[in-house]
Structure 1
Amino acid sequence: MGATKQVEPVSSVLKVFGILQALAEQREIGITEIAQRLMMSKSTVYRFLQTMKMAGYVSQEDDTEKYTLTLKLFELGSKALEHVELISLADKKMRELATKTGEAMHLGALDEDAIIYIHKIDSRYNLRMYSRVGRRNPLYSTGIGKVLLAYRDEAFVRDALKDVEFIAHTNNTITDVEQFIEELAKVRDEVVGEDREEQEEGLRCLAVPVFDRFGVVIAGLSISFPTIRFEQSRRDEYVSMLHQAASSLSDSLGFHDYPQPVRTSSEVS
């Protein structure tokens, strides 16, 4: 193999992070001092700071005209750390379930108007779902998407889907927002979202919510099956295993009141 190609750094990006570093090291700092530290012109520092101010990452004191960091960077860092902690905690549970069932396990989070896979454990079988960490899929046709939205208010759901084109991936795909909202009520009742060959023909998926310490659904935990290996008679068993894992995971994240199903598949079938 050849040597790894070196990518030239983007100077403006380096300057932004240099300014952020200077702001992090001193609570309030002026343009002149930042310019001297970073050996940049004051006009350049001013332009960067004003842009960062408009983006909400920097604020300016009225009396001193000095600059300080806002909490927006903290919020971004907290989200990243939250996912790191979540993945670390979820990995053991997912591996246990993968060992018991032999099937693929996924952990997905909300990414604007889609889901994004943040962790996965592959099936032991050759015939398996194709997926990868970082891949995005629709909210309306996936089990994870359903549990991510089921515990949000209707206004949030409609806003998340307002620019989404409902594509009929299969004959089973929900293609209407009203029908999807009705489906979310069923998801809340059973505390499970199901993809009934809605995203891909020949593939079934069961997903349950994972809650953070504030009771917000931070992720969906799912198991995926090719339809030829999915046993309807064992559906409630699979759901129960998922609930136990997700309840334990939510408990580790500080949420101790995991919802109980008000009906099961046998009651609604």
Structure 2
Amino acid sequence: MTSSQKPDNVASVMKVFSILEGLAEDGGLGLTELAQRTLMSKSTAYRFLQTMKQLGYVSQDQDSERYALTLKTFEVGAAALSDVDLPRLADAQMRKLSEQTHEAIHLGVLDEDHRHVLYVHKYDSQFNLCMQTRVGRRNPIYSTAMGKAMMAWMDPERAEELARSFDYVARTPHTLASAEALLAELPVIRREGVAEDREEAELGVRCVAVPVFDRFGVAVAAISLSFPVVRFDQSNRERYIALLHEAGRRISRGLGHHDYDVGATR
């Protein structure tokens, strides 16, 4: 490849992705509208579309002559997502949260029995007084902000079934003591867009958490911020929640979820 060829090749790649993104945003576009959206001439757009049709990434309706993406593009994306390492994907956002707040940041998923939160990644607090955790630790769903965040976005029947299967052990005087108490909290969490642990897992420690969604809109994980109650300032609460929502949105986007509206009505 000569140096004179490279700019043309780069421009061609950019045009292909411009078409893919245009069709992804609004499937079923005609040639004229697609050319306008991608800032190409109709002849250039047509040429690329014909090649993409031959490769199986674009289809064309015979009656309307409108173009759309095929499932082949989904297959490529799904193959990439199947190899996603969640802790690695979340690391940049967790590090950013740590730098912004200096508090402990955790990433959790449900374990194999869906009764406990498994801590899979963390950033320790930069203060001496902090929550003591380790990667691999398990805590009951009902006593953790991350567990409640994931439960709040479950199918309601599944959430109720799970809530009624727990043996509610009082880890502190503030631990939720019954399925009714837990189930009453889930709609509030979903409405407000954030789950809280108010010294329910450990005395002296509060935690706020938001869900992380996969490409199907399933809450597959949660990200949390923990701090001692003696360091909690109510004026910081909204800021912490906003930062968590941004991190949750970006991590979810990395998993293929692009409709993160948690906390949108706050």
Q: TM-score, normalised by structure 1?
A: 0.65
Distance 2:83 2:109 in 1: 9
Distance 1:242 1:144 in 2: 12
Name 1:175's counterpart in structure 2: 177
Task: Supply the AA of the counterpart residue of 1:101.
Answer: T
Q: CA deviation at 1:179?
A: 1.5
Identity of aligned residues (%): 47
Secondary structure of 1:109 counterpart? strand
Structure 2 unaligned runs (5+)? Answer: 1-77
- Count of residue pairs the alignment pairs up: 185
Name 2:142's counterpart in structure 1: 140
Distance of aligned partners of 1:208 and 1:83 in 2 relative to their CA distance in 1, 3 Å threshold: farther
Distance 1:154 1:210 in 2: 18
Distance 2:137 2:250 in 1: 26
Name 1:130's counterpart in structure 2: 132
Are residues 1:155 and 2:160 paired? no
Are residues 1:105 and 2:108 paired? no
Which digits, 9 at most, give the CA deviation of each residue in 1:208-249, with x for residues without a partner? Answer: 000000100010000000111111111010000000011011
Distance of aligned partners of 1:180 and 1:140 in 2 relative to their CA distance in 1, 3 Å threshold: same
How does 1:19-34 map onto structure 2 within 5 Å? none
Which digits, 9 at most, give the CA deviation of each residue in 1:105-144, with x for residues without a partner? Answer: 0000011211100101111111111111110001111100
Which digits, 9 at most, give the CA deviation of each residue in 1:155-209, with x for residues without a partner? Answer: 2123324432111222221111112111010110111110011111100000000
Distance of aligned partners of 1:83 and 1:100 in 2 relative to their CA distance in 1, 3 Å threshold: farther
Secondary structure of 2:127 counterpart? coil
Task: Supply the AA of the counterpart residue of 1:247.
Answer: R
Distance 2:158 2:218 in 1: 13
Distance of aligned partners of 1:191 and 1:235 in 2 relative to their CA distance in 1, 3 Å threshold: same
Distance 1:82 1:128 in 2: 35
Q: Which residue, 192, 205, 219 being the options, matches 1:190?
A: 192
Work out whether residues 174 and 198 of structure 1, in 8 Å CA contact, stay in contact via their aligned partners in 2.
yes
Name 2:253's counterpart in structure 1: 251
Distance 2:139 2:83 in 1: 18
Q: CA deviation at 1:82?
A: 5.7
Structure 1 unaligned runs (5+)? Answer: 1-77, 265-269
Distance 2:129 2:83 in 1: 29
Q: CA deviation at 1:84?
A: 5.4
Q: Which residue, 222, 225, 237 being the options, matches 1:223?
A: 225
Work out whether residues 103 and 224 of structure 1, in 8 Å CA contact, stay in contact via their aligned partners in 2.
yes
Distance 1:114 1:83 in 2: 24
How does 1:61-140 map onto structure 2 within 5 Å? 85-111=85-111, 112-140=114-142
Task: Supply the AA of the counterpart residue of 2:180.
Answer: E
Q: TM-score, normalised by structure 2?
A: 0.66
Work out whether residues 163 and 182 of structure 2, in 8 Å CA contact, stay in contact via their aligned partners in 1.
no
Output the aligned Cα RMSD.
1.8
Task: Supply the AA of the counterpart residue of 1:157.
Answer: A
Work out whether residues 245 and 263 of structure 2, in 8 Å CA contact, stay in contact via their aligned partners in 1.
no
Which digits, 9 at most, give the CA deviation of each residue in 1:36-77, with x for residues without a partner? Answer: xxxxxxxxxxxxxxxxxxxxxxxxxxxxxxxxxxxxxxxxxx
